[in-house]
Structure 1
Amino acid sequence: MKKFLFTLFLLVVVIVHSQSKVSGIILDEYDAPVAFANIVFKNSSEGTITNDNGRFYLEADSTYDTLIVSFIGYDTQEIVLDKKVNYDMKIIMVESTEQLDEVIVYTGKQSKKNNPAIDILKKIWAKKRENGVRKFKSYDYDKYEKIEFDLNTIDSALIKSKVFKGMEFVFNDLDTSRITGKTYLPIFLNEVSSKIYGNNEFELEKEEVLGNKNSGFGGNQAITAFVEDLYTDYDIYNNYLKFFDKSFTSPLSKTGVDTYNYVLSDSTYIDNKWCYNIIYYPRRKNELTFKGDFWVNDTTFAIKKINMEVTKSANINWVKEIYIEQDFDVISDSVFLLKRDYMLSDFAFSKKEKSKGVYGKRTTVYDNYIFNVKHPESFYKSVSDPYDTNVFQRDSIFWKNARLESLNEDEAGIFKLLDTLKTVPKFNTFYNVASILASGYVEIDKWNLDIGDLYSTFGFNDAEGIRVRAGARTFFSQNDPWRIEAYTAYGFTDKKFKHGLSGKFMLDRKSRLILSGGHRRDVEQLGISLTSTNDVLGRSIASSALVSVGNNNRLTSINLGVINLEMEPVKNFRFSLGSSFRTLSSALPEDFSLDYIDEDSPTGISSEIKQFDINTTIIYTPGKKTIGYGVERYDVNENYSTLLLNCTVGLSEFLESDFDYQRLQFSYTQPWQLGGFGRLTSTVELGKTFGEVPLGLLSVVPGNQTLFSLYNTFPNLDFYEFVTDTYATLHLEHNFNGRLFSRIPFLRKLNLREIVGLRGAWGTISDENIALSAPTNIPLLAPSDEIYWEYSLGIGNIFKIFRIDFNFRGNYLENPDARAFGVTGTFGFNF
């Protein structure tokens, strides 16, 4: 009886929220599913196509009584709809027997020659820069965006499950997706109202945020940053569209003819403009492609309407479905402007039809276009404060006027629903557990304190043996203007306590002037990075690797104090000036010596380095996006370059410092999105030390004796195998995202991804520096005779989370204990 009532309730919801809904499966005469069949309500442009399994779902706000089903090579069918809601339809397609003059029938893979759809596509390419805002010198328009997250595939079993016991009231707000036909429950909503200003002559564009409103988890910036990164802007006319860090071939791409099949399906008037309808679907499985159709004008060849659905075989994880719609307005005979952009993503652990997951939906509406309004170049370069408190405190009157698309009843109810949920202890428990797993910290609200990082609680190395660590940080809000963090650790082999204390204080928010400082006494694996900074609380994974390769005993005891002043006068351009005083000594003197010649020592040899340095660092990260305005911020995206220039001056005698020297270092990291060929990451590092310094102050070519794949290290080098005072390194790593494996039949279904790497290092060390460290018990070698190089072949996306790299050493195989081959790996949740 309860199941009947639940089904009846869903039916009521369906009827109330829409006038026409249909779903079902399309089969041929042999009961084989017909993929990519075209389905449309008669006398409308409301349509869809079947998925790989022949299934479809279609919804419209208006009432229609006839459904038209067609596919090239089959007879077109008109099906009378005797009800507003028709689910689980079974439609049988019959192969066409008619042969009409001057009609070419396309089935399966379409020819690239004599195909009218491709002729139209070529005209779209020629005209794409002549449509939209690019036709004008300047443009202004309003933009309204809402991002919503929903639990989906809600059924009676889920409602009655123990998970939701005591929270059954949340299901009062169930709705049904017009795309998939599945029930869903809204849980999060974010709204942004903006004004866009652009100038095509200056090639500049700026966005002024007028209002920002969150519901649900709006206070958690980690979640907000995740949402922001998922839904970046895109242009369907581009050759490749980037979603979830993957490049999908656009159906309007110039390379689309090699990726998609195109069929000219229909033509009709839309908004008094004659338009052609073209259906497209992928030529091969497992590639990052779409299926769908678009309507294009017959004179301007501008897109009037397009829908894109990612094929289920696409090599992407944790996303069961992606659906995109864009509608364009006809402003004049030759101007088509984007009016509405809708994107739905179905996140789930499994791609099975009945699997439960979370919808992520973004709707962006554009309106009030104004052209050729003159603004000076400085206007476009000026940046408004995105964290103005007024932006986040707009009243209901503002939002009533700012919403270019009104909230429906369920969306409006999210705010009330979440306020109610936050009063339920069980919900708060779920939220706290998720927050701990995401951040690694346990929040203690009454003390404004976080305990953690929990992921650093246990470790192991040769010097300390088993190591335990406990820490805490102040935390009043995500945007704290100051933060203090501390930890203590204990090693059961060396029987010593270690500690670290760090403080950061924002003196000026506009320029992000930050004063920071701290002290640390610990055991560390130095030489894991060439251009590392003096992070008081930072610790490399190599310092506590549970399993290592070879004798991983070259550890250093470090006693470090730092003070630093940093500012960001221009967005993404950071400048810092600081000083540090450190004492370095070997944590295992019998195995690894930092001894050097010291004429002032009674023995002529010193085992400890005391050094005072002044550091100046410039970091430029063009294209980087962040969220938050406190002393700590969250990165939103990964696709930006990083340029670093560091100058270090060592002063002797001051605070009993030992050495005078100067060091210049430069690094440049650049990710390259190479369309359908994947993603290449490159890093170049250069450095030189002027003056005589011992081993502890030289530049070590970063080795890797762990079993983890660590970018920017050399996995076949031991720590301190190469030591330099002048160096240059290059790292290249390319992820093909499965482009090659997708063409191998027996590998295709595994959705594996190919990764290749190439690394090289060159460096020298002066005779004076070698002589200074003569007492040390390790050889001081530099790759000066020839460039040291390695290469690797990797397989990623194993069971969706694992990656294995097979690493090969190219030369210097005569070095003591040289490792010619090694295997490393990593794991993580990647799309």
Structure 2
Amino acid sequence: MKKILNKIFTKGTLIWLLVFTSFTAVYAQSTTVKGVVKDAKTHEAMSYVTVAFLNSSIGVSTDAQGRFSLTTTGNYNQINASFIGYKSVTKDVVPGKDQVINIVLTENSHTLSEVVIKSGKKKKYTNKNNPAVELIRQVIAHKSQNQLENYSYVEYNQYERMIFSLSNLSDNFKNKRIFKNYQFLFREQDSTAIGGKTLLPLYMEEKLSDNYYRKAPYAKKQVIEANKQVKYDANFIDNEGLTTYFNRMYQDINIYDNNVSLLSNQLLSPIADHSPDYYKFFITDTLKDQSPNLIELSFTPRNTNGLLFEGKIYITMDGNYAVQNADLTVNKNINLNFVRQMHADLAFEKNTDGRYHLSQSDLKIEFAINKKKGGGVFGERLVTVNNFAVNKPRMSETYDGPPLVYASNSQSKDDRYWLNSRPDTLDQVAADLYKNIDSLQTIPSFKRTMDIATLVLAGYKNYGAFEVGPANTFYSFNPVEGFRGRIGGRTTPQLSKRYYFETYGAYGTKDEKFKYFMSSTYSLNNKSIYSFPQNYVRASFQHDTKIPGQELQFVQESNFLLSFKRGDNDVWLYNDIFRLDYVHEFSNHFSYALGFKKWNQSPAGALQFQNLLPNGTLNDVNLIHTTELSAQVRWAPHEKFYQGKLYRTPIPDKYPIFTLNYSQGVKGLLGGDYNYQNVTANITKRFYLSQLGFTDVFTEGGYIFGKVPFPLLDIHHANQTYAFQLQSYNLMNFQEFVSDHYASITIDHNFNGFLFNRIPLLRKLKLREIIDFKSLWGGVRTENNPANDASLLRFPTDLGGGAGTYALSAKPYMEGSIGVGNIFKLIRVDLVKRFTYLDHPGAPEWGIRTLVKFDF
């Protein structure tokens, strides 16, 4: 110090002296207080305790280990620790020093001055003249001023940690030979806590982000500065999809929203606009030793099976009517699948303007098939908010761009960075989880288990650079091919990240013909072609059979289960298709695709291509040649999905998906016989209706310009299987209707048990009621109707010579169904009725269809 002062004075600069004096004065006033808060009775660390310098707005909440750290340059000489249900504690502080102060809190026993016991009937609960309901109405009335959107600008830092474990494990499981040398993988906890006594952590992800909000023009942006995730072998698991799926299940809980998204469902918030119609509220405590004073408001659902919370919220009595803390659970009878326990703790801190913001959210859920006993899966998502600042505008570039951005080095932060940046400290098992999972994946028995699971669930057997499958296509049968055997497979990223090859061969014992497929794909962004965002070029050739008008969702046509169909099923095609495709996806979920297709199709089974020659002779046409150019644009804002081995499985959300397709047939190009243009557009969207469930709506329209034979018209998606298909007509026969212009709508509404929960027997079974309606309008213009032009291929006929394929008339095709879902938590059964065109031969009026679907 002497040398520094000598230097300053020797320079003789008064300004430097003043700067140095100011700096030392400020430094001298800097006060840092650290410590741990514990319960006086149990000696356990307490989280969410508010610790603040007395008579200031400078405060923090303790972390999961009860730790806190406060720093100020102000002249404060006391700190105060407060927690709901405990006596506040004030401790002296020495200003200008770094110090450690540990605090012990004692439960606050509220005594009653008088106890009055009255006999008689229990008073019926009512909203009228109920002080608890009047209080919640005040909270509802003040919601807008207590939300983020009330400010012009907001910014904060956020830490997020998500961890999943096998839970409630028995000693027998823990002592299995596979874990003999890996006992360190297990995590012990209090047997009364969610998750049971023994946990086996299997997944963890951490994020540190900077978050920015601007009211006008609206912008909300998250910049991920650091991201760390447990990684599994990509041959078995889509790691990005797993993260997306978990984040969809464990979304942010904003208690001020009318509906809280949880596990792909929406639960009504206890402070929703109409919450008094669905909840019962009770004032259970008044806490006057808190600052500000708080009222403990307990609530419970009127219908315990409904998608509702129960628990307690603590309301500030300082004029804000804000929520300072919330303790949310769900009733054991709730119509929510596989949830054994759920607990969400929300803590709020006071802003500089006296209002409150969310400072910490801790959501814990344990899933299990048996809700009372046995192992399960425990998941926890902890979110901590720091450095919350309001109305401090930044440059416009801060708010511009996509809503989610990853810093270029977000994946490369080392252990030291995380150790210094986490707001809390991980326990030893969690801290070692990243390297433990890497070690686990080297165990041969674990690799065998994952290999078997992939074969059973995805249908592929991995052999390193090549995998064989899908297994459910190895055997099937149909009226045209008879017994159909098939074997195929594809390369994996282990061979190359840029080059992918896929192939299969099949043989039908009845038609005695070989079928085959081969494709070659080149990835342009050096990523797997199954990873988002895709950018690749693919060339393929297929020689195989197809049912005209069969549209399948997430199922291959050779699937064994599709061998079972109702009615006549002998109208088939032999196809030779060469395709060249280019696909380019962008991170904002906009994509486009360009394609070239050379397609030769010939009739198979009972299908015939016939027209009349000028002399009136019936002519068999064995082959139709088309050459087609195509383009597609698709926009799916905020789309979420899990990338499987074969398909992307969408994770439903409220955002729409738009798709526009254009195809151009070119006559004379590589033997093409027809000129035409085909334009189709569709929109898909889910509408959430709070307690009334949700509605999936799919609309589509198309128009074909030009003169084409019926195989090139739009052959509407029919379904002759016994499976219920959401985007096909379940009582329409294959190739029953064709159009050159059409519009359609599908409405599928799931009440989520809203009605059944009021019927005692059905309430216990936790069944869910569903209604579905489909309608199709369309027709065939005169120029494309073979009744007006004998040179066109005639519409197919049935075995008796009657009409088999029709054009829609002035009336639409309509069908509807009433369904019961959540049977054994997996099965949906629909009673389907067809309303129109019942005079068509073989047209069923009624049918029962089944769908297997996993829902929470």
Same fold (TM over 0.5): yes
Kept in 1: contact 2:244–2:640 (CA 8 A) = no
2:156 to 126, 141, 146: 141
Over 3 Å counting, the alpha-carbon distance change for 1:131 and 1:593 in structure 2 is same
Tell me the SS of whatever aligns to 2:410. helix
Gapped regions of structure 1 (runs ≥ 5)? 1-13, 23-41, 48-60, 78-94
2:841 to 816, 821, 825: 816
Superposition pairs for residues 513-552 of structure 1, below 5 Å? 513-529=535-551, 539-540=556-557, 545-552=562-569
Residue 790 (structure 1) aligned with residue 815 (structure 2):
yes
Tell me the SS of whatever aligns to 2:626. strand
* Deviation of the 1:334 alpha carbon: 2.3
Code of the aligned partner of 1:613: E
Over 3 Å counting, the alpha-carbon distance change for 1:378 and 1:576 in structure 2 is farther
* Deviation of the 1:234 alpha carbon: 3.4
- Per-residue CA deviations over 1:310-368 (Å, capped at 9, x if unaligned) read 1111111112112111101112352211111111111101111x322110111011111
Tell me the SS of whatever aligns to 1:407. coil
Gapped regions of structure 2 (runs ≥ 5)? 1-37, 47-80, 87-101, 527-531, 787-791
- Per-residue CA deviations over 1:408-456 (Å, capped at 9, x if unaligned) read 23321323432442343222222333333343322223xx222222233
Residue 291 (structure 1) aligned with residue 310 (structure 2):
yes
Q: For residue 317 of structure 1, what is the aligned residue in structure 2?
A: 337
- State the distance in 2 between where 1:142 and 1:569 align: 27
Q: For residue 89 of structure 1, what is the aligned residue in structure 2?
A: none
1:799 to 806, 824, 827: 824
- State the distance in 2 between where 1:632 and 1:810 align: 33
Tell me the SS of whatever aligns to 1:727. strand
Kept in 2: contact 1:345–1:359 (CA 8 A) = yes
Q: For residue 377 of structure 2, what is the aligned residue in structure 1?
A: 358
Superposition pairs for residues 97-496 of structure 1, below 5 Å? 97-98=116-117, 110-160=125-175, 162=176, 164=178, 166=180, 169-170=183-184, 173-176=187-190, 179-180=193-194, 182-185=196-199, 186-215=201-230, 217=232, 220=237, 221=239, 222-269=241-288, 272-298=291-317, 299-332=319-352, 334-352=354-372, 354-377=373-396, 379-383=398-402, 390-445=409-464, 448-476=465-493, 480-496=497-513
Residue 654 (structure 1) aligned with residue 669 (structure 2):
yes
More deviation, 488-497/429-438: 429-438
Kept in 2: contact 1:366–1:404 (CA 8 A) = no
Tell me the SS of whatever aligns to 2:451. helix
- State the distance in 2 between where 1:233 and 1:823 align: 40
Tell me the SS of whatever aligns to 1:110. coil
Structure 2 length normalisation: TM-score?
0.81
Residue 722 (structure 1) aligned with residue 737 (structure 2):
yes
Tell me the SS of whatever aligns to 2:369. coil
Code of the aligned partner of 1:682: V
* Deviation of the 1:269 alpha carbon: 4.8
- State the distance in 1 between where 2:404 and 2:356 align: 32
Over 3 Å counting, the alpha-carbon distance change for 1:375 and 1:579 in structure 2 is farther
- State the distance in 1 between where 2:704 and 2:487 align: 37
CA RMSD in angstroms comes to 3.6
- State the distance in 2 between where 1:164 and 1:16 align: 42
Kept in 2: contact 1:542–1:705 (CA 8 A) = no
Q: For residue 25 of structure 1, what is the aligned residue in structure 2?
A: none
Code of the aligned partner of 1:184: T
- Per-residue CA deviations over 1:688-740 (Å, capped at 9, x if unaligned) read 11111112111122221100000111111111111111111111110101111
Over 3 Å counting, the alpha-carbon distance change for 1:496 and 1:385 in structure 2 is farther
Residue 828 (structure 1) aligned with residue 853 (structure 2):
yes
Bigger Rg over Cα? 2
* Deviation of the 1:44 alpha carbon: 4.8
Superposition pairs for residues 685-700 of structure 1, below 5 Å? 685-700=700-715
Tell me the SS of whatever aligns to 2:775. strand
Over 3 Å counting, the alpha-carbon distance change for 1:511 and 1:436 in structure 2 is closer
Give the share of equivalent positions with the same residue, in percent: 25
* Deviation of the 1:295 alpha carbon: 0.6
* Deviation of the 1:213 alpha carbon: 0.9
Code of the aligned partner of 2:543: R
- State the distance in 1 between where 2:834 and 2:750 align: 20
* Deviation of the 1:302 alpha carbon: 1.1
- Per-residue CA deviations over 1:369-413 (Å, capped at 9, x if unaligned) read 233333455542314995766322211232123312321233213
* Deviation of the 1:641 alpha carbon: 1.7
Over 3 Å counting, the alpha-carbon distance change for 1:760 and 1:19 in structure 2 is same
Residue 573 (structure 1) aligned with residue 595 (structure 2):
no
2:806 to 753, 760, 781: 781
- State the distance in 2 between where 1:122 and 1:247 align: 22
Q: For residue 602 of structure 2, what is the aligned residue in structure 1?
A: 585
- Per-residue CA deviations over 1:565-588 (Å, capped at 9, x if unaligned) read 232357122122211011111221
More deviation, 421-430/354-363: 421-430
Kept in 2: contact 1:20–1:62 (CA 8 A) = no
* Deviation of the 1:679 alpha carbon: 1.1
Residue 764 (structure 1) aligned with residue 779 (structure 2):
yes
- Per-residue CA deviations over 1:630-685 (Å, capped at 9, x if unaligned) read 99977555543221111111111211111111111111111111111111011111
Code of the aligned partner of 1:19: H
* Deviation of the 1:502 alpha carbon: 2.7
Kept in 1: contact 2:168–2:195 (CA 8 A) = no
Code of the aligned partner of 2:311: G
